[in-house]
Amino acid sequence: MNQMEQYFVVRRTEEKDEQFAVIDAMSLAEAKAIFKVRYDEFDITNEEIKEETFFIFKLDGDLKYDENNRVLLSEVVGDMAITSRWQQ
Q: How many domains does the chain have?
A: 1
User: Range of 60's domain?
Assistant: 5-86
Per-residue pLDDT at 45 exceeds 70: no
pLDDT of 22 reads 94
- The structure's pTM equals 0.82
Q: What is the distance between the alpha carbons of residues 11 and 39, in angstroms, rounded to a whole number? A: 12
pLDDT of 88 reads: 45
- CB-count exposure of residue 23 (10 Å: 0-12, 13-18, 19+): buried
Instruction: Report phi then psi at 60, rounded to 5.
Output: -90, 110
Average pLDDT, the chain: 84
Question: Quick check: 40 pLDDT over 80?
Answer: no
pLDDT higher at 75 or 27: 27
Give CA–CA dist 61/15, Å, rounded.
24
pLDDT of residue 46: 53
Nearest residue to 19 via CA among 27, 29, 9, 28: 9
5 or 84: which leads in pLDDT: 5
